[in-house]
Amino acid sequence: MTLQSSIRQLLLLICVVVPQAWKLWSSNKASDLMDPTLGDPPSTSMLLRYINIGLLCVQESPADRPTMSDVISMIVNEQVALPEPKQPAFVAGRNVAEPGSFMSSAGVASTNNVTITAIDAR
């Protein structure tokens, strides 16, 4: 795998998968994220738990994101109650865009279709 293809996959995840996961989660359809070719999940509740954990990790405010030790605890200990995730950073303050859409809410594309986002670490 080349660096360029790795970057493309990361951008796909950030720009398409996370907003779609949030859209399905917030409409109580998160189980639709399951790839049907994988067969029946061992447990729908476990699948929803992992989606919940993933959405917690991409919340807009770094202070709201769990630490890695918290994530491990959430995965290993099924008895740990999970907080409800807030809207992810990648869709906060705007509607989920259709894949491939670079238009602003006013319908005007940027001059060069490039957006720069500064992501704050914890």
- Domain of 80? 1-92+101-122
| CA dihedral sign, ordered 77, 72, 85, 62 | positive
Query: pLDDT of 76-99, one tens digit each?
Result: 998 989 999 998 887 755 544 444
Q: How many domains does the chain have?
A: 1
Mean pLDDT of the residues in the chain: 77
Tokens of 112: 């060069």
pLDDT, tens digit (0-9, with 9 covering 90-100), for 109-119 = 555 666 666 66
Amino acid identity of residue 113, one-letter, is N
